[in-house]
Amino acid sequence: GENVEQHPSTLSVQEGDSAVIKCTYSDSASNYFPWYKQELGKRPQLIIDIRSNVGEKKDQRIAVTLNKTAKHFSLHITETQPEDSAVYFCAASGNTGGFKTIFGAGTRLFVKA
């Protein structure tokens, strides 16, 4: 079945450094790749997304890249701040199966001040 693998499971960086989280997906029909941020005890919230016809997308300190051939996509956070500390989930969905979204297992990011 469809699968999304996410690495690393835990990431610790110093404030001001960059953080990179990587995901791979198995379903070649996937065409939408969102990233969610979940703070402790809160709901997941969309922070950025990318579609399969785009290779890269940026929004201030956050960027996402997509390599469709390799079925890889990554989240890049630059100039990290303590408030970036959270769990980040990647996901993949497509036009089949009712637009089901398959999530990665999550990455817990710690930004040390």
Please classify residue 30 by burial: count the beta carbons closer than 10 Å to its beta carbon, then call 0-12 exposed, 13-18 middle and 19+ buried.
Answer: buried
Tokens found for residue 72: 């890889």
Q: Does 45 bind other proteins (CB under 8 A)?
A: yes
Instruction: Select from 65, 73, 104, 111 the one that contacts other proteins (CB under 8 A).
Output: 104
**Distance between terminal CA atoms of the chain?**
41
Q: Which is nearer to other proteins, 1 or 69 (CB)?
A: 1
Q: For residue 97, what are the contacts with CB-CB under 8 A and spacing of at least 6?
A: none
Count of residues engaged in binding other proteins, rule: CB under 8 A? 24
Q: Does 11 bind other proteins (CB under 8 A)?
A: no
Instruction: Find the length of the chain.
Output: 113
Tokens found for residue 56: 């890269």
Q: Does 44 bind other proteins (CB under 8 A)?
A: yes
Contact window for other proteins (CB under 8 A) among 1-9, 55-63, 64-72, 73-81:
1-9
Residues at the interface with other proteins (CB under 8 A): 1, 6, 9, 32, 34, 42-46, 49, 89, 91, 93, 97-106
